[in-house]
Amino acid sequence: MTSPLRLLAFALFLAPSLLPAAENQRFILERPYPVTEIPEPDRSLPVTNVILMIGDGMGIHHLSAAWAANRGRLFIENCPVTGISKTWCADKLVTDSAAAGTAMATGTKTLYHRVAVCPRGNKLDSLVDKAADMGKSTGVIATCELNDATPASFCANNEKRSDAYGIIGDYPRSRADFIFGGGGKYFTQRPDGRDIFQEMQAQGYRVARSWEKAGALPSGKTLVVAAPGNLPPPSKRGDVFRQAAVKALDTLSRNPNGFFLMIEGSNIDKAAHSNNLEEMMEELLDFDRTAGAVLDWASKHPGTLVVITADHNTGAFALTGGSREQGEITGRFGSGSHDGVAVPVYAFGAGSGDFTGIYENTDIFNKIMNALKKGADKPVR
């Protein structure tokens, strides 16, 4: 197994020099959350279920800050397997979320700003489509608008990530069985006159326009659009992100053939773009708490593979000081943009051993597909 320290050293070696202009910001986590040890089930079991968690913009520096703030403990540390993913896209060294999401969703490096469309302009099938072809249930969860790049890469096809109405217009033909996110303003009162909520209902979806109403939905295909835009930060939305993940796991796991679920902590990236340390830390810690719930579920359901990674690194963030004992960090941002630094990969459960080493982000797709194909040949009894 590749040493985590070696991987960290490699990531830090790749990191660009930070610009001196930014001022240090300070964050204190007043109420740390307890982190328990979660036993990993047998890695050699065939894979029935796959959960891919993506922290948008979440680099090793961001995770180091979250670790320090929570008194030196994160749920992600329960993952015994670590790797490094290279994030460049087909036409740029520094990717965007559309090209990076497409790489992980479809296994194809594409052009900047393209959503599940290859450089030649052909539409690409995603892990949602591939898993559905295998008879599995599928789901997509995000804290951003559903037209945003990462969830769109799993549910839509478009040459322009900025085409919000066009991307949402693809959702009625998506093969995802459980969909949660924001972006309600693009579902109705559209320039083309379509009502996407009605179209989703016609496709058999139970639709809720808030998380509070989701609990009353009967079982079956589910669409929850919990905000008109992006979801608010955790201090305002509460525990919704973790609850949505738990709800999806309960719903999708009813399929004896298993499932694929993508869960994105989308707004880590947005806070880093705006150099908002407090909001970024809120989102990081909420992502880790959600990862804890996912890992706990996977531990109790052998044959489940969990992969946790990022699409790219955002903000050139540096952890410059603080106190682990007090949950205090100081840090500064070197930019308001993405960079080309490789990002960490963590894996847990069945098939996790395949995720060691240094590889392209497209190999996340390839490794997941290989695991699913092997699992289909030897299902868990």
Q: Binding site annotation covers 339?
A: no
Q: Is 273 annotated as a binding residue?
A: yes
Torsion angle in degrees (nearest 10) through CA of 137, 254, 46, 116 = 20
Return the closest-CA partner of residue 85 out of 327, 326, 311. Answer: 311
Residue of 85, 97, 137, 266 marked active site: 97
Q: How far apart are CA 375 and CA 47, in angstroms?
A: 5
Q: Parallel, antiparallel, or unpaired for β 81-86 and 222-225?
A: unpaired
Q: Is 133 helix (H, G, I), strand (E, B) or coil?
A: helix
Per-residue CA distances from 59 to 97, 106, 107, 284, 311 (Å): 14, 22, 21, 11, 9
Is 264 marked as binding a ligand?
Answer: yes
Q: Is 113 annotated as a binding residue?
A: no
**Which of 233, 165, 223, 231 minimizes the C-alpha distance to 198?**
223
For residue 196, the Cα-to-chain-centroid distance in whole angstroms is 24
What is the three-state SS of 28-92?
Answer: ECCCCCCCCCCCCCCCCCCCCEEEEEEECCCCHHHHHHHHHHCCCCCHHHHCCEEEEEECCCCCC
55: phi then psi, degrees, rounded to nearest 5? -90, 105
Tell me whether residue 56 is annotated as binding.
yes
Q: Annotated catalytic, 97? A: yes
Neighbours of 266 (CB within 10 A): 30
- Scored b (16 or more CB within 10 A) or e, 305-318 reads bbbbbbbbbbbbbb
Residue 133 in marked binding region: no
Between CA 71 and CA 262 the distance in angstroms is 28
The partner residues of 158 in beta bridges, in order of sequence, read 115
3-state secondary structure of 343: strand
CA–CA dist 293, 276 (Å, integer): 26
Partners of residue 50 on adjacent β-strands: 260, 305
Is 311 marked as binding a ligand?
A: yes
* Contact of 52 with 311, CB cutoff 8 Å: no
**Structural contact between residues 32 and 288, judged by C-beta atoms closer than 8 angstroms:** no
250 is in an annotated binding site: no
Binding residues, as ranges, are 56, 148, 150, 264, 269, 273, 311-312
Binding residues for Zn(2+), as ranges, are 56, 269, 273, 311-312
Binding residues for Mg(2+), as ranges, are 56, 148, 150, 264
- Give the residue numbers marked as catalytic: 97
